[in-house]
Amino acid sequence: MFRLDRKVAIVTGGASGIGKAIANLFVQQGAVVYVLDLDDGGTSLDEGVVDGRAHFLKCNVSNQAEVIDAVAEIYGKYKRIDILINNAGIAHIGTAETTSEEDFDRLMSVNVKGVYNCLHAAIPYMQEQGGSIVNMASVAALVGLPDRFAYSTTKGAVISMTLSVAKDFLEYKIRCNSISPGRVHTPFVDGYLAKNYPGKEAEMFEKLSKTQPIGRMGKPEEIAQLALYLCSDEASFITGCDYPIDGGFVKLNT
């Protein structure tokens, strides 16, 4: 079950964190995986799972020309694209009052336009044989979070795009779903704590972990397992859905 043999997958933002966990798992399950990221370290997928099926292309998802070229290169080599994981994204802390125009535009460019660019480039190729798209949203799109105005805005747009794509491409057997993680322990979290709470990292990590009813942060591998299911043939009856994976945050905190 949950094999991806002979499938070609694109994972944006796959150089670290959730994206890297997805790329690693998909390779393990038989897929050819292309990581699209600005991070040159994107080739450093876990040792032992590469086997010639993990590749890296440096790409700025907010630049449509770069995305179109990257996707065309992948299709040119394999003559198919089966899976698209729109994972690349950036965060921001601020309210509607404190968020600058520059920061708002930056988040929209990556988190919204970046998803659009990848959809726009990949869907024409996916129509040939069908496939699965997973967009990474967030619990920030589902509940009100303090100081996450711009970030929440972009993730709400991601869920809306998911529904639209799922509806528009039913006849081509393209399924489109989204995942809304709660707090997940990634390098971003460690960097955030080191920058904003020097000397108190462990204390703040524990505090953030306990904001989720289950009492801990998620692991990137747990998000990857949900992405695997949604992209597998076992999920062939699922489209147009958003899946919170949040340790009970959305339903048990309200």
DSSP of 75-105: HHHHS---EEEE-------B-TTT--HHHHH
Q: Which of 20-29, 131-140, 158-167, 181-190 has the lowest mean pLDDT?
A: 181-190
User: Distance between CA atoms of 87 and 110, rounded to whole angstroms?
Assistant: 10
Select from 137, 138, 136, 134 the least CA-distant residue to 174: 134
The pTM of the full predicted model, rounded to 2 decimals, is 0.94
Tell me, yes or no, if 151 is annotated catalytic: yes
Examine the pLDDT at 158 and tell me if it is beyond 50.
yes
How far, in Å, CA of 230 to CA of 2, rounded? 9
Instruction: For tokens 């695997």, name the residue.
Output: 228
Q: What is the pLDDT of residue 51?
A: 62
Q: Which of 34, 116, 125, 151 is catalytic?
A: 151
Domains and CATH numbers, the chain: 8-184+220-252 (3.40.50.720)
Is residue 42 over pLDDT 90?
Answer: no
Structure tokens at 73: 């290169």
pLDDT-derived band at 253, boundaries 50, 70, 90: confident
Mean pLDDT over 54-81 rounds to 97
Residue among 189, 187, 170 nearest 238 (CA): 170
Q: pLDDT at residue 43 above 60?
A: no
Least confident of 74-83, 155-164, 209-218, 219-228: 209-218
Tokens read off for 150: 């711009």
